[in-house]
Amino acid sequence: MADRIADIWGTRTPHAKDTPWPVRVDLHLDAGLAESDVDRWVQSACVLCSNGCGCDIAVKNGRMVGVRGRAGDVVNHGRLGPKGLYGSWQWAGRDRLTRPLVREGGRLVETDWDTAMDRVVRRSRELLAETGPLSHGFYTSGQLFLEEYYTLGVIGKAGLGTPHMDGNTRLCTATAAAAMKESFGSDGQPGSYTDIDSCDALFLFGHNMAETQTVLWARVLDRLAGPDRPVVVAVDPRRTKVAEAASESGGVHLAPLPGTNQALMNGLVREVIANGWVDRDYVEAHTLGFDELAATVEPYTPEHVAGVCRVDPADLRRAARIFGTGERVLSTVLQGFYQSHQATAAACQVNNLHLLRGLIGRRGCGILQMNGQPTAQNTRECGADGDLPGFRNWDNPEHVRELARLWNVDPLTIPHWAPPTHAMQIWRYAEQGSIRFLWISATNPAVSLPQLPRVREILAKKDLFVVVQDGFRTETAEYADVVLPAALWGEKQGTFTNVNRTVHLSDKAVEPPGEARADLDIFLDYTRRMDFRDRDGAPLIKWSDPEGAFEAWRECSRGRLCDYTGLSYAKLRAGSGIPWPCNEEHPDGCDRLYTDGVFPTHPEVCEDYGHDLLTGGTTSAEQYKARRPDGRAFLKTAHYAPPPEQPDDEYPLLCTTGRTVYHFHTRTKTGRSRQLRRAAPEPWVELSAADAAALGVAEGDLVRVESPRGRVEAPARVGRGRDGVVFLPFHYGYWDTEGDQHARAANELTPTEWDPVSKQPLFKISAVRVTRLAGATGPAPAPTTAASAPQDSVGVVPTRGDDDVREDVAPTDPPAPPPVPDRTPNVLPHAAPKG
């Protein structure tokens, strides 16, 4: 048995380059139960991060009692991480919402579904009559199922006709989508996890993979423990496990000052160009914009960049050499870039590095623009983030007509007069009072949005009707006019898609508690009550269950890059995860995209005509067509511009926020798991050793962190980050605290600012000051197992759990990787040679 709190990544199964990653099946059952006690195993995949590890849920006496990795799943080859093992089902039956609630005399009281839905529908109708659909906003999630997003998308776009729909995916993954649209013409992950098994160098840009996707990191560790291991390069201001691996593997750890990523990236690209590491033939045949890119990055010499980012110019040169001379390079990008200043521009520079060297679409050469949440990919595909479903282009009249035909509605109903309203703007409209109906599903903005004092004020506004649909009574639910109790994972059926496009079916294992209902059923109920009709007077939404919704979505995806037409519930159930595009021609899906260097940039297929990366101004259809991209990728960049908020005398430090390995989102599930809660029970404030010394702060001292917007109070961890930078975990809110003090959530401090292209908020850059409030009563409650490890471990008890996980190494052969198509499906080839 293994203690997977202490040993986060589990037993090593080393393997050599180009050999398959061995299987290791991880199993955790409720105390006292053996595998033979389990009544049924129900197929699913984990929803506690974007990795999407295939798993089976153990059911006994109608209860979820355990979880086991699926050996034959291409994503995880049987493994699960601490959150999957300890947080996937342990919340079941605890503190759940079991009946609808409505506000009566200022208090939330229990009621029945009819009463609750009646209030929702009444307010909805009133506002539609009074103002029209622009009064309605929807703020959804990265944690529902595909079927639910698609249904919600159709309600918003063809039923109501409001452009105000977005997900909290805006906070976690918007930049991944934006960067792929700018570079390749469409969302759609170019690379695959299998590239880890074959790469020579691995670059992680602002991606603490060791904590955010632990099973993916285990895959990297198994390469690092084997022969011919890859060199790792980490870009992160903290000394993460990834940064340690970079040093140990002979790579580089670059720790730029928060807010300077774009300068760093311009410097890396410049080095690659200046040293002649560019694949001229590839660039000539498959890209546009080289001269402009080269001219823009020219001033970013290593010395200049070193001054801006405060890194060693020799390190920058070394990192560039590793990229420039590596035969197979894989890059991953996450929140360190996405939630930072100039997010899209910096993420595009990662794409550019690969395009310049032609390191894309080949074995071991890939890009993984990561996601944060488990089903974020589906929010993006299905139109629940405001984009049109199936990666269709809101500015392309033919794409709008396609949807109108599919849904049998007037094309004018479908909002396409401007880009969809992004989350931060939705909240602004609610603040200004022009959105007066806000439906929040499966997310907790009262903890997860930036600048919480402002968010609470908006939620509390009298003229804003707030519907909250969730499994728990969250901090956000407390502000609702109507609360709808939702079924959670294991209590409903649906599919979802992970970072590398792998689609999983998650079957229903148990009944939801009380009167809780599947989110899909709630949306369908609203549709019926609102009586949305198509052009012929038939019900707009023609499905009534998850499989019906999936089939409708399949039709919507036909002919698009995210082609699901080759998938069905039966097929997913017969095997395990399958990556899209999957159609008649490619029935087993596609592992990697863009093998032939042809990208979905043709004006007829592209998802977006692109933006100016500096301002977010949109390129018009005419401008786009005039460039004749026709399958070539764009090399786009922007000059570095200083971030909107910079340290000064009053607020001299920079604060970044992030995850810890044991929790997910706002801890609604992981905080209710005994093992995970014990491993990271309370928030902390991480300071560098030098900053702590300058402030007179010792390990465990109570400190206050203040920004111009709010404050947080927590014990200090004297950690190993770079000087001048404070780190706060973002998971902690107020549902498990006493009193009404708001000094625990990291987002009390963060600013209302966003990237001009992806509109992703800048969680990683707030100027703050730190003051010592009181002496320590013990060490800070921060885990010692990963990036928040103390600088000096004396007196700090190591984080550990119990020996309660069974790991079965190599019980079967690894699953075969999905096939790689010669040409990417549904992408038009280059029209004519350039020139």
Residue 46, interface with ligand SF4 (CB under 6 A)? yes
**Shortest distance (Å) from residue 49 CB to ligand SF4:** 3
DSSP string, 787-802: TT--SS-TT-PPP---
In angstroms, rounded to a whole number, what is the distance separating the alpha carbons of residues 496 and 491? Answer: 15
Q: Which does 432 bind (CB under 5 to 8 A by kind): ligand SF4, other proteins, none?
A: other proteins
Q: Which does 752 bind (CB under 5 to 8 A by kind): ligand SF4, other proteins, none?
A: other proteins
- Determine how many CB atoms are found less than 10 A away from the CB of residue 104: 9
Radius of gyration (C-alpha) of the chain in whole angstroms: 25
Choose which of 617, 775, 798, 829 interacts with other proteins (CB under 8 A).
Answer: 617
Residue 173, interface with ligand SF4 (CB under 6 A)? no
Q: What is the three-class DSSP state of 338?
A: helix
**Which is nearest to 489 in space by CA: 375, 575, 576, 384?**
375
**Shortest distance (Å) from residue 616 CB to other proteins:** 7
Residue 703, interface with ligand SF4 (CB under 6 A)? no
Q: What angle do CA 371, 688, 684 make, to 5 degrees?
A: 65
B/e letters for 522-549, b = 16+ CB within 10 Å, e = fewer, are bbbbbbebbebebeeeeebbebeebbbb
**Shortest distance (Å) from residue 81 CB to ligand SF4:** 3
Residue 421, interface with other proteins (CB under 8 A)? yes
- Determine how many CB atoms are found less than 10 A away from the CB of residue 629: 24
Give the residue with the Cβ less far from ligand SF4, 213 or 583: 213
Token pair belonging to 172: 């976690």
Within 614-633, the residues that bind ligand SF4 by CB under 6 A are none
As a whole number of Å, the end-to-end CA separation of the chain is 64
Query: Site for ligand SF4 (CB under 6 A): how many residues?
Result: 13
Give the residue with the Cβ less far from other proteins, 386 or 579: 386
Give the residue with the Cβ less far from other proteins, 417 or 833: 417
Residue 618, interface with other proteins (CB under 8 A)? yes
- Determine how many CB atoms are found less than 10 A away from the CB of residue 813: 12
Strand partners, 235: 205, 254
Q: What is the three-class DSSP state of 657?
A: strand
DSSP string, 578-618: EESP--SS-TT--SSS-TTS--TTSTTT-S---B-TTT-PB
Give the residue with the Cβ less far from other proteins, 515 or 753: 753
Residue 323, interface with other proteins (CB under 8 A)? no
In this chain, which stretch among 267-275, 414-422, 683-691, 803-811 interacts with other proteins, using CB under 8 A? 414-422
Residue 707, interface with other proteins (CB under 8 A)? no
Token pair belonging to 736: 């498990």
Choose which of 168, 213, 377, 393 interacts with ligand SF4 (CB under 6 A).
Answer: 213
Q: Which residue has the tokens 């990787």?
A: 817
Phi, psi of 288 (to 5 degrees): -130, 145
In the sheet where 107-110 sits, what is the strand order?
107-110, 101-104, 482-485, 465-470, 437-441, 136-140, 165-167
Choose which of 33, 42, 285, 614 interacts with other proteins (CB under 8 A).
Answer: 614
**Shortest distance (Å) from residue 429 CB to other proteins:** 6
**Shortest distance (Å) from residue 428 CB to other proteins:** 7
**Shortest distance (Å) from residue 835 CB to other proteins:** 21
Give the residue with the Cβ less far from ligand SF4, 46 or 449: 46
Give the residue with the Cβ less far from ligand SF4, 59 or 215: 215
**Shortest distance (Å) from residue 754 CB to other proteins:** 7
In this chain, which stretch among 438-446, 495-503, 747-755, 777-785 interacts with other proteins, using CB under 8 A? 747-755
Chain centroid to CA 444: 15
Q: Using CB under 6 A as the criterion, what x/- string covers residues 71-100 for binding ligand SF4?
A: ---------xx-xx----------------
**Shortest distance (Å) from residue 351 CB to other proteins:** 22
DSSP string, 512-544: PSTT-B-HHHHHHHHHHHHT-B-TTSSBS----
Choose which of 134, 215, 320, 467 interacts with ligand SF4 (CB under 6 A).
Answer: 215
Choose which of 16, 109, 314, 418 interacts with other proteins (CB under 8 A).
Answer: 418
- Residues that bind ligand SF4 in the complex, under the rule CB under 6 A: 46, 48-49, 51-53, 80-81, 83-84, 213-215
- Residues that bind other proteins in the complex, under the rule CB under 8 A: 131-132, 134-135, 163, 417-419, 421, 424-425, 428-429, 432-435, 612, 614-619, 641, 644, 751-754, 756
